[in-house]
Amino acid sequence: MRLYLPVCLLPSVLLTGCVTILDIQSNVRVADKPPFERILIVSRLPNVPPGYASTFVGAFPSQYTVCSVDVSPIDFETPDELVSRQLNECKSQVMLTLDLNRSFSGNSGKYIAGYNNIYLEMSSVATGKPFWKAITLSTTTALSPREIVQRLISDGVLSGKVAVADSRYR
């Protein structure tokens, strides 16, 4: 009887927790990482609300200046024009791009289902070379800015501590 109670309560405790863990794989090329303080966040994610990229601005440590741009298929400017304009306005040194990695599907025939993982890449604006890449291991539509920034810190790309971000994507 005593063993039965903890075994029954454990699943309910685990299922009601508010902690989210983002499963991602990442890779850093330290030799290509430039010194930087100004970052542009570019969201190319189609299934997020307008202004999603701006939720990343408040999550970065205070020593970084962060700008953002959401690329949408209904914009009259091309994605390159939007990004170029924002790079010039913000004088960003690096760019963190969030995009879908449409790499696999499941099932077949009329039951086929596509799975989209989110691909992240941080690259130097001066050279265009990426120095940090990551991909989510689970399918999702929006990422927590805090978790991504924490991953950048743990990978040694950023220094400092995660700031408080927009509560919608914590």
For residue range 125-147, list pLDDT tens digits in order: 999 999 999 988 766 667 788 88
Domains contained in the chain, number? 1
Can you give the CATH number for the domain in which 33 is found?
3.40.50
Q: How would you class 119 by CB atoms within 10 Å of its CB: exposed for 0-12, middle for 13-18, buried for 19 or more?
A: middle
Q: Rounded mean pLDDT of 150-163? A: 90
Residue 130 lies in a domain: yes
Per-residue model confidence (pLDDT) at position 164: 62
pTM of the model: 0.75
Calpha distance 106→125 (Å, rounded): 36
Structural domain of residue 66, as residue ranges? 27-103+113-169
Q: Is residue 2 situated within a structural domain?
A: no
Q: Is 41 a domain residue?
A: yes
Nearest to 127 by CA among 48, 2, 33: 33
The answer to whether residue 4 sits within a structural domain is no
Q: Report the alpha-carbon distance of residue 36 to residue 61 in Å, rounded.
A: 13
